[in-house]
Chains A and B, each alone.
Chain A
């Protein structure tokens, strides 16, 4: 009876994926082999964040970028549609005709967008909004379209409408009900929302019934009942969703009255070996169009299959928050005051476009508890209010204070984190309570920051609306337990790099000695010395080997080259933007040949020469400098390269001169010392051949100018750069980049790349405020310090070979400059040298004549 069981999952969407994850984590794969069949061409992705596909691309949304689970007992098949279930044989049939046996079957087929049967619904130019393919098609069609209409003014419809608007279309929203988001909000909130949506530039038609989509083979208009038709050339239907229960129907499983596979509280269907979870399921006869209930169902089924104490699905929180830039709408709990004892507390400010309603109920004690609410125009308190629903805690004496603006006597909802009881559910998407969060950061827990809590508990990782509360709880916990997060640079400086930067700037220090005497202790170490060296270099832009500063530099900076494993160095001349003349290429080749160096094309579009002895470096540099080249700073925590694609000068797709801009940026920021290395990229069109979004700053050409992305990273923890500002002129681009880079240099921690810095400093929004909106009024100052850097740039190699005092260090032995270091050895491989190591110290013997000092 040791047979492994076959578990088959139909549908690799959000819930199917979560189910498999939970199954692996909780050991179900010890007894079951899992096969997942997904009809879409790609692995599961974050559908909740679908709209950000336009900005971030498919890769960023993927839950499983590699396309495979770590567990070998799980196999995922994509592009595999299941067309039939035979419960009696326990077999499913795939679209290609093949059959697959199962012991247990889990349906996670989700839902499909409902398209009302109006004439013209199949015309070219009509879309739905559910998958990445839908969005790709909409984007392609939007290029030729001018006016779009979204049919349906619910949560999804508004998201889709905003997306059309951002794609540059004049956009209409057509809603049958008398108000927008009719399911979630009341009339007063609806009219406030209407005004917000119209200020975004969208036209709203409520109470409007679509009679037909007009056009011959392509959309040309929309016929509305009792109204003038609209001239539109693109239509998106967002008129609700329906559970994908067709497979179950055909297999004679029980179906709920209003659709959805009927399941019990353990999510078991009318067949004991078939389960249904997510949007295709209808526990107790009701389907749920949100991801959180689906996640709970996934856990419940894993429980049941593990055979232990089975969990149960007993209904779900239907709270929602609209994810539109600039429009805050939230609805939670008993928003319509359905409870017969409910009382409503309303605050409305039509001028400011704010409407807030709390639904409360009097307790026996005379106090009030929160049942639900609606927030429009300012939903900042959503994160704190939502968990109060059903928590049983008594509200403050005057509940209106929770929704009044602070200036009118309202309490800052920030302080209410302490008000939440331990079992309050803070993250509804992932069912994480306040106690879970506190446990993660307490002594027994493993987290020391809110971002770590999000990674470990998943709180905040789905819709993100609970993030501020998670952060607040973590901070309050640290404050209450008197824990100061140790941010000391090292044992010599009890301050962060940012603080040290300010200290050095304010006092105008230019020597390590003064800094450590005034603000540190001891004589420093290999952590604080390079940090001080980098700060001094950013502020003063002097030669890093000037005077005593030479002894502060990290290995590579100390010799203006990269140390290799056998004690030799590599030399990388700058090749701005990757563009190089044949003459310079020939010189590089000749230098490599004459000094016996190994050559390799780097990942940064330039050429690395390896195996140079320290004493040969100046002569190698001289040859390169004489040929018009300079240091590429491959050794520094400073600008490395600005990678380019060939762009409009040659490429048939290019819309701007990407090489020209890459060279200009590389020359502008060359030599700029920073907390960690900096890399840039410029692509000539959206095909992105320069991989600019993998860089600290990436620029992508558009028809109208340049899009600027920031915070990308390759390396150990890859991140895609995010759009800071779009369609910029060259001047705007450089202004924002100057500010961005200087802001980073001033405030980042030591060895912190822009990607992690961005998260820590408050995310893209915060950086946009400072860099684009100039909210701190720092813009001029940041630009001026970048100008100083650009004006004072010089080539470090040239300055070194021209200064005998600096050259004196470049000898093998102080007392025997002519004797090469005998430890340095090489082997040959593929016609070139490679580094070799020796086993112990090598002695030349006492007989070797030694030069006089």
Chain B
């Protein structure tokens, strides 16, 4: 469990990079103040950049996503699944807000990418 930063440090619909147990994790805040944590590593571009992507929603059910700043593939913030290529999934972490601080918890079990 790593306390990353105050919620206010992350602008709505944007992300920051954090070090969690030595790993680069992208932490995002959505419009309705939910937080999500994904690996910062973009498996398509092979660079650590996802926290710098644009955050938006897809479809009527408003799936929250981040688009990689490199080649714009979109990843579902909730599951780490790539919306453009379902075979690719990036690792995700538990994340929540506690007393105004953003906390990243355990790495979730995901289907290997």
A residues in contact (CB < 8 Å) with B: 491-492, 522-526, 529-530, 548, 550-552, 554-555, 558-559, 563, 565-567, 808, 812-816, 819, 821-824, 837-848, 850, 853
Contacts and interface: CB of A to CB of B under 8 A. Distances in A.
B41 A840 contact: yes
Chain B residues touching A, majority SS: strand
Nearest to B4: A815
16 contacts: A522-B59, A522-B62, A523-B56, A525-B67, A548-B13, A551-B13, A555-B52, A555-B69, A555-B70, A565-B47, A567-B47, A812-B17, A815-B5, A821-B48, A841-B40, A843-B21
Contact of B3 (A812, A841, A847, A853): A853
Given A523-B57, A815-B19, A548 B49 contact: no
Contact of B22 (A523, A821, A848): A848
Contact of B13 (A523, A819, A845): A523
Contacts of A530: 54
A559 B56 contact: no
Interface in B40-86: 40-41, 43, 45-49, 52-60, 62, 64-65, 67, 69-70, 72, 74
Nearest to B65: A525
A520 to B, nearest CB: 11
Interface in B1-45: 2-6, 9-14, 16-19, 21-24, 27, 30-31, 39-41, 43, 45
Most buried by B among A813, A819, A845: A813
A813 B24 contact: yes
B106 interface: no
B46 A839 contact: yes
B22 A823 contact: no
Contacts of B60: 522
Contacts of A529: 54, 56
Contacts of B65: 525
Contacts of B12: 548, 551
Contacts of B9: 808, 814
A524 B19 contact: no
B56 A846 contact: no
Contacts of A551: 11-14, 54-55
A524 B18 contact: no
B21 A846 contact: yes
Nearest to B69: A555
Given A815-B19, A850-B19, A558 B52 contact: yes
Q: Which 8 residue pairs are nearest across A and B when measured between Cβ atoms?
A: A555-B69, A525-B56, A823-B48, A526-B67, A844-B22, A567-B47, A841-B41, A526-B54
User: Max chain B CB contacts within 10 Å: which of A555, A565, A567?
Assistant: A567
Contacts of A559: 52
Contacts of B43: 840
A843 B57 contact: no
A841 B39 contact: yes
B24 A841 contact: yes
Given A522-B56, A842-B24, A847-B22, 16 more contacts: A491-B58, A525-B54, A526-B56, A555-B69, A565-B47, A813-B17, A813-B18, A814-B17, A816-B18, A821-B48, A822-B24, A823-B41, A840-B43, A841-B23, A841-B40, A841-B48
Contacts of B56: 492, 522-526, 529
Nearest to B113: A840
Nearest to B72: A526
A372 B10 CA distance: 74
Contacts of B57: 522-525
A843 B23 contact: yes
A180 B26 CA distance: 77
A614 to B, nearest CB: 8
Nearest to A852: B3
Given A526-B56, A853-B4, A565 B41 contact: no
A639 B79 CA distance: 40
A554 B54 contact: yes
A554 B67 CA distance: 10
B70 A565 contact: yes
Secondary structure of the A side of the interface? loop
Nearest to A521: B60
Contacts of B2: 815, 850
A563 B60 CA distance: 32
Contacts of B30: 523
Contacts of B22: 843-848
Contact of B19 (A525, A555, A558, A813): A813
Contacts of A850: 2, 19
B47 A566 contact: yes
Contact of B18 (A491, A525, A814): A814
A526 B24 contact: no
Contact of A814 (B4, B41, B62, B91): B4
B65 to A, nearest CB: 8
Nearest to B54: A526
B7 to A, nearest CB: 11
A815 B56 CA distance: 25
Contacts of B31: 523
B13 to A, nearest CB: 5
Contact of B46 (A808, A838, A843): A838
A841 B48 CA distance: 8
Contacts of A526: 53-54, 56, 67, 72, 74
Given A840-B41, A844-B19, A548 B54 contact: no
A838 B48 CA distance: 9
A846 B67 CA distance: 29
B27 to A, nearest CB: 8
B19 A563 contact: no
A850 B21 CA distance: 9
Nearest to A835: B47
Contacts of B39: 841
Nearest to B25: A813
A247 to B, nearest CB: 58
A550 to B, nearest CB: 6
Contacts of B21: 843, 846
Contacts of B11: 548, 550-551
A530 B31 CA distance: 17
Nearest to A564: B47
B52 A853 contact: no
Contacts of A848: 19, 22
Contacts of B72: 526
A310 B9 CA distance: 77
A822 B11 CA distance: 25
B54 A823 contact: no
Contacts of B53: 526, 555
Nearest to A837: B46
Contacts of A550: 11, 14
A602 B67 CA distance: 29
Nearest to B67: A526
A491 B63 CA distance: 13
A708 to B, nearest CB: 36
A185 B8 CA distance: 80
Contacts of A838: 46-47
A567 B2 CA distance: 24
Nearest to A819: B19
Contacts of A842: 24, 48
A844 B30 CA distance: 28
A815 B18 contact: yes
Contact of A525 (B14, B17, B58): B58
Contacts of B54: 525-526, 529-530, 551-552, 554-555
A565 B71 CA distance: 10
A822 B12 CA distance: 27
Contact of B48 (A548, A567, A845): A567
Nearest to A567: B47
A488 to B, nearest CB: 15
A823 B52 contact: no
A341 to B, nearest CB: 67
